[in-house]
Structure 1
């Protein structure tokens, strides 16, 4: 933009960019481009968005320095250098002054607290949204002597692969905790001290009720609301969120929550809260369709190491649906009267000479079914669904064989072991099983568990850079093995009519095994994946 008042950039400046700057796709010819080129082009455009955000922050840093540095001695409240800079940006870009101040603050934090993370943004390794998330999550390290080390470690991990926002938060929290666990504990205490309930007015006669409490209490409260909201028939016309809102009011006030289908023969009938005492004032039970709140069965999974639970170590833990929690929080949860502690490794399990332990992966009666221990291990190791970017809890997902289990010949197919299983949300599980999608899982030369997916068109998409093994390294010492499987005896009829040597399903699984083998050979010998 020139310095001439009122001037604006001309559209051709951007519309005339070569295709190389637009993900390699000319918008005029996009309809004819192969699907893989379009998808790869979108990832290139993501890098472009990141670089533009990087330039935006760099410009904001210069603007901030131009007006703030010369006026550091100003004691003004509104009229100071920072306000001057924010006002210029706000008016030029038609945004609020608050939005401009947020932009300036983020720019300064990236330059002064997170310079290496800032370069990851410029290189297209992360998006602006991810950079903003890291800014929030690293507020604790501002001004600390170890801040530069946390910045460097975060940047190193970012360049190791892709991260969803969920994995990103867990990674940052883990690194900060290991540098300064006391600060994390203090932050949680401060957060708990600030708990409370607020009401904010909204438009058109509505208001928002906000409650801040401990993570576990919030999850339990939400489960009660969700459980009551589901106690209606299929003809109730409200959306799920509308029912949740009505259910929350009913639970908080002790009033009734009724099905609103309007059908006289609604199958959902129950006593009102008053009628639950026995009878009405006339001594006769009154008919009603108001639902009595019923506490749902709800489990919060918390993972920690044994030493931390016993107070012999102060390592972080993990709460499903929330993320990394500090050691004191872990021990507090363990003392709850409703807590149940279940060790992953059964008592008395012998240790191997190399410090590992070996456990059976499948049931003795069924080599396809994982043991309870393996099932829990898989969910703990991943935390969430193994599909890149998915945040569905592993405990709400299906445990799936990566290389398909061969029911006709168990020794030939994928085994029921920890290395061949991962959690998949139901939609991803169905796609992988009944369509042309393929996934794979293996350990690289550094022992890191890696996953990737392959689209039906053959595009290879890398999985998340980390699993929960980074938070709980002891998981790498646990081995789950499959029992020796002898090929089943052939029961093919003795007849001349030609028959299939393998079923269509077996042939599909064989093709998938061959494709996985080719991909693994590529990892060892060939170029990197195209992402």
Structure 2
């Protein structure tokens, strides 16, 4: 080290010269970006270790008397950390609590940070979802080991929502009573509070069941969005005014001040009635859980819920229970294709009148299976996403691939869908040797980014036994070519689809070659 500069070994930068990063190619820059995250994880692991060592020494002293003030060991530790790292005392308390909590209850999870598998914010999510499990509980070591094993074995993107769902699933498996008690305690703590802010404003907070929040928020948005496009308020301002109107029964108006205003603002009572008939809250579970067996459910835009919560929702008078498989539709065939020799049940995937369009049952199944947008890092609900053909559907020659099937469809947010359609990235979707659905995003220069590490198939394994496939099409009607016919245009879209088909084929051959030589490719 010279001066304030730390000289790191060249290998730390994945072949990228930090003094001249623009000289590197994009592939090397992407590698360096990934490696920088691993370095940050290892540095956070070291920081946690130093903080716990400081805490051990401070707590061992118990307390000191400084000028008549008794300073506990915990307080001394927080003061040292806060002043050294220029943190507030609250920020330092959080860091110290995280370090001690991870060492005592999640040591194997903490090791994944050392190995660059997780990041600090991901461990914060895990710690928060296991906070109610007592340190001395017999399930703590087992839960820690299972969480760490899952993180190490399932490669890919862990968004906050998917990580939360994974930990909640494991906690419920080991101690369902704890989850039920946590929900009861949470419902018991529901209420409404006000908090005075600056400059004549105040904050109104309400805590209630997740499904009630969805309904209430939808009512606010419906009323707030009824103004015309010339209303000068921000979305937040309109939502605030609409919430007040709904709570007090007062009039909500468009503030454009134009004589030709086109807004059709409904009365608050009409909004509530309309929303109650419009809002759909998707809940996924299995029949055994509905019948009273221990199990879990999953609520769209919320996450994992207990079996008791599932049955409460199913008992609502406005609830509709729909099977995942299409009603009154027999499977077309059976095949022993699933891992562990389970039978796969196959249903029609596309509409008979339009092979490009999935059936309603197929579309619902894909959204249930994905749960969220499949773009790495995106947490948008799959029920608010578009469905995309991973391999593009070829309208001119459907036999070239891209058929409408559950294995070739996934959920993408509108931005991700547009980027896929008009951009130069390629995504692939396939099942690995363990039967897990794998999604990869491939940059224009060939760099591969793994998609989500988990889908709802991990919460509900029976989903792996269901497929929706496009039935075989009849041979095309022969065409008589005359001099007046013109060939289909060789436009940019057709050329892009051809390039993508070739690139996917190359990637598949390369993946199969690596797996035969070395086993599955590391990510």
TM-score, normalising length from structure 2? 0.90
Contact 2:347 2:467 in 1 (8 A): yes
Structure 2: unaligned runs, 5 residues or longer: 336-341
- Aligned counterpart, 1:467: 455
- Aligned counterpart, 1:220: 215
CA deviations over 1:10-49 (Å, ceiling 9, x no partner): 86333x4345334543333123332232222111111111
Partner SS state of residue 205, structure 1: coil
Contact 2:330 2:347 in 1 (8 A): no
Relative to structure 1, the CA distance from residue 50 to residue 360 in structure 2 (aligned partners, 3 Å threshold; closer, same or farther) is same
How many angstroms apart in 2 are the aligned matches of 1:497 and 1:256? 62
Relative to structure 1, the CA distance from residue 492 to residue 164 in structure 2 (aligned partners, 3 Å threshold; closer, same or farther) is farther
- Aligned counterpart, 1:286: none
Matched, 1:161 2:155: yes
Q: 1:153, CA displacement in angstroms?
A: 1.2
Contact 2:63 2:71 in 1 (8 A): no
How many angstroms apart in 2 are the aligned matches of 1:129 and 1:520? 34
Relative to structure 1, the CA distance from residue 223 to residue 449 in structure 2 (aligned partners, 3 Å threshold; closer, same or farther) is same
> Aligned ranges for residues 57-68 of structure 1 at < 5 Å?
57-68=48-59
Relative to structure 1, the CA distance from residue 12 to residue 530 in structure 2 (aligned partners, 3 Å threshold; closer, same or farther) is farther
Q: 1:456, CA displacement in angstroms?
A: 1.9
Partner of residue 302 from structure 2, selected from 302, 308, 322:
322
How many angstroms apart in 2 are the aligned matches of 1:182 and 1:293? 36
Number of residues of Structure 1 aligned to a counterpart in Structure 2: 504
How many angstroms apart in 2 are the aligned matches of 1:299 and 1:193? 25
CA deviations over 1:425-451 (Å, ceiling 9, x no partner): 111111111221111100000001000
- Aligned counterpart, 2:229: 234
Contact 1:200 1:207 in 2 (8 A): yes
- Aligned counterpart, 1:307: 288
- Aligned counterpart, 1:204: 199
How many angstroms apart in 1 are the aligned matches of 2:475 and 2:416? 31
Q: 1:486, CA displacement in angstroms?
A: 3.6
Q: 1:130, CA displacement in angstroms?
A: 0.7
Contact 1:439 1:452 in 2 (8 A): yes
Contact 1:23 1:44 in 2 (8 A): yes
Relative to structure 1, the CA distance from residue 42 to residue 204 in structure 2 (aligned partners, 3 Å threshold; closer, same or farther) is farther
How many angstroms apart in 2 are the aligned matches of 1:22 and 1:205? 52
Q: 1:220, CA displacement in angstroms?
A: 0.9
- Aligned counterpart, 1:32: 23
Contact 1:86 1:101 in 2 (8 A): yes
Partner SS state of residue 71, structure 2: coil
Matched, 1:183 2:178: yes
- Aligned counterpart, 1:147: 140
Partner SS state of residue 16, structure 2: coil
Relative to structure 1, the CA distance from residue 366 to residue 104 in structure 2 (aligned partners, 3 Å threshold; closer, same or farther) is same
Matched, 1:42 2:23: no
Structure 1: unaligned runs, 5 residues or longer: 1-8, 277-290
Measured on the aligned residues, the alpha-carbon RMSD in Å equals 2.7
Contact 1:411 1:486 in 2 (8 A): no
Q: 1:271, CA displacement in angstroms?
A: 7.5
Q: 1:513, CA displacement in angstroms?
A: 2.0
Contact 1:452 1:460 in 2 (8 A): yes
How many angstroms apart in 2 are the aligned matches of 1:409 and 1:327? 47
Relative to structure 1, the CA distance from residue 175 to residue 264 in structure 2 (aligned partners, 3 Å threshold; closer, same or farther) is same
Q: 1:510, CA displacement in angstroms?
A: 3.0
- Aligned counterpart, 1:436: 424
- Aligned counterpart, 1:412: 400
Relative to structure 1, the CA distance from residue 207 to residue 25 in structure 2 (aligned partners, 3 Å threshold; closer, same or farther) is farther
Matched, 1:95 2:87: yes
- Aligned counterpart, 2:384: 396
Q: Which stretch shows the higher mean deviation, 25-34 or 374-383?
A: 25-34
Partner SS state of residue 399, structure 1: strand
